[in-house]
Structure 1
């Protein structure tokens, strides 16, 4: 059954998704709204329920409760030819050549073989992998084989692209290639949904994101909005260090390990009153910088330190 969700400017909607395994709620009432043409990240620590959520959104597994609509279809699998999917478990036929592997994946989504082979060659050349076009998968490095599978996920030019932990196991060169491909797909007009537990990729790529932990959605919004859940931090270095500085700083002020500066949260009224007190006290200002905490800091605050342990920045 096709719904009118596509007319709302949303490529994907989900409400109240629930999935139980062995009596445990792995996904517990998750809501998502992915705008058409956006790069949307699903962030969470390992075991948060990210992969199960993506599989329900695609119709690979059915939710125990809740509703989802993908590209206007209440049954997500009805839109499968318009979707590209890179699963968390990678797998290609090792005896296939790279170009044929990409064309084969396109054929599974309805792309004719000749067009798939032609596009595969162009895509590999563009990605700097032209020398490996006719190399068998078993002879490629793990990272290159993974990138070939990624190209196979987009060779049919999908409207909606789902990448489950796409950066996992990639070296820095292939991570950079992948980021470039994600942006190129967005510029082509595709909507991209990817899961990750690496904050740096989400911070660079996402237009919007959802943070989940323990099977629940804990935050939804832009990267800036996530970072805005924490106050800005100021780093102050006195011109004339001395006793009594701590009494003039906000209560959470902490001294640098080197002992020459202090870091503290910027008060709601701003930093001006604090600086005035320091100048009046004769300590002066040798250095001052103010910055917004990163996405990793916001993530830890949102999901809790225990849940965030082991999550790379």
Structure 2
């Protein structure tokens, strides 16, 4: 039920491309040469501390904020009004009518997108059912929990069968049940070949759901790739459990850095090829009960990346 027919010349595989985007507000430059791509059928997590430029980038894609320079392309072409009508957008701040009943406002939004009354009603019933909102259809938005309000916001973004999704902090304030429902829906949308971009501070969800992670810091893209790819570029880390790991025990290994301790052992960062040196240093102090590589999670990778670029992560 897409009111905007697809152009057969469209290249679906091209997805959404953000190329060399710059934006300033007065004398403050908030985006500097921002470039990344959301291919069709992939879910991309957009990660950064507050004020890094995530929402501004999204608003530029949607045409809500003008860029100073750069290009936004969708399916290989500069994005225009008709392409923007195909975007399902979920803002961080809820943008629905709090005193309007859920079904009524979803039908109203469907009519605005070009649906007939019957199409809009069918779409509203489908998405309220899919998102577990059957009992809330006749409720006013203000009467719902914050989590259910968030579900209604997602229903509004999906109502017109968008070709791509841009979601700003969609998991904020959700309980585990709502997180599971929203995660399933995003995976379904991506599986249908749609590009999905969402921002979140919940890095465990980003790591689990996303094919690609884009990290922005102080208005600049500082990392772009899969979590596995980001791990490949991360420093080596080992967990060492042994007797006698006194302060400074890693001194024989040039550049080794102890990252933290617990009751049993410690975590150490080393350079590539120093594994045997680190093991030997531990063995000199006593029996080694554990010596295992540590796979950093996305939260650790994020802290490393933003730290390397001189910005505190959050």
- Map 1:114-193 → 2, pairs under 5 A: 114-193=118-197
Size of the aligned set, in residue pairs, is 307
Runs of at least 5 residues in structure 2 that lack an aligned partner in the other structure: 1-6
Is the contact made by 1:13 and 1:69 (CA closer than 8 Å) also made in structure 2?
A: yes
Q: How far did residue 86 of structure 1 move? A: 0.9
Moved more, 21-30 or 168-177: 168-177
3-state SS in 2 of match to 1:308: coil
Provide the TM-score with structure 2 as the length reference.
0.86
CA distance in structure 2 between the partners assigned to 1:58 and 1:282 by the alignment: 60
Q: CA deviation at 1:162?
A: 0.7
Pair 1:88-2:92 in alignment: yes
**Could you say if the C-alpha distance between residues 258 and 291 of structure 1 is closer, same or farther in structure 2, counting changes exceeding 3 Å?**
closer
Report deviation, 1:276.
Answer: 5.1
Give the deviation of 1:278 after TM superposition: 4.5
Q: Note the C-alpha offset of 1:170.
A: 2.6
Cα separation, 1, equivalents of 2:291 and 2:254 = 15
How much has 1:72 moved relative to structure 2? 4.1
TM-score normalised by structure 1 residue count: 0.86
Query: Does residue 24 of structure 2 align to residue 20 of structure 1?
Result: yes
Question: Which of the numbers 278, 289, 294 marks the counterpart of 1:291?
Answer: 294
Report the RMSD for the aligned CA atoms in angstroms: 2.8
Q: Indicate if the aligned counterparts of 1:39 and 1:207 stay in contact, CA closer than 8 A.
A: yes
Q: For 2:161, what is the secondary structure of its paired residue?
A: coil
Contact 1:5–1:69 (CA<8 Å) still a contact in 2?
A: no
Match of 1:197 in 2: 201
SS in 1 for 2:11: helix
Distance in 1 between residues matched to 2:29 and 2:8, nearest whole Å: 30
1:151-300, aligned counterparts within 5 Å?
151-238=155-242, 240-241=243-244, 246=250, 251-254=255-258, 257-258=261-262, 260-269=264-273, 271-275=275-279, 278-279=282-283, 281=284, 283-300=286-303
Q: Report the CA distance between 1:5 and its aligned residue.
A: 10
Say if 1:27 and 1:216, in contact at 8 Å, map to a contact too: yes
**Counterpart residue number, 2:112:** 108
Distance 1:286 1:162, change over 3 A: same
Q: Which moved more, 1:177-186 or 1:227-236?
A: 227-236
Are 1:228 and 1:292, in contact at CA under 8 Å, matched by a contact in 2? Answer: no
Partner SS state of residue 41, structure 2: coil
Rounded to whole Å, the distance in 2 between the matches of 1:106 and 1:226 is 41
> Quick check: 194-203 or 49-58, which moved more?
194-203
> 2:15 touches 2:40 (CA, 8 Å); kept in 1?
yes
Structure 1 unaligned regions, length at least 5 = none
Query: How far apart, CA to CA, are the structure 2 residues paired with 1:26 and 1:84?
Result: 24
- Residue 304 of structure 1 aligns to a residue whose secondary structure is helix
User: 2: CA distance between counterparts of 1:16 and 1:4?
Assistant: 28
Q: Equivalents in 2 of 1:256, 1:26: separation in Å?
A: 35
Among candidates 58, 66, 76, match of residue 62 of structure 2: 58
Change (3 A) 1:151 1:274: same
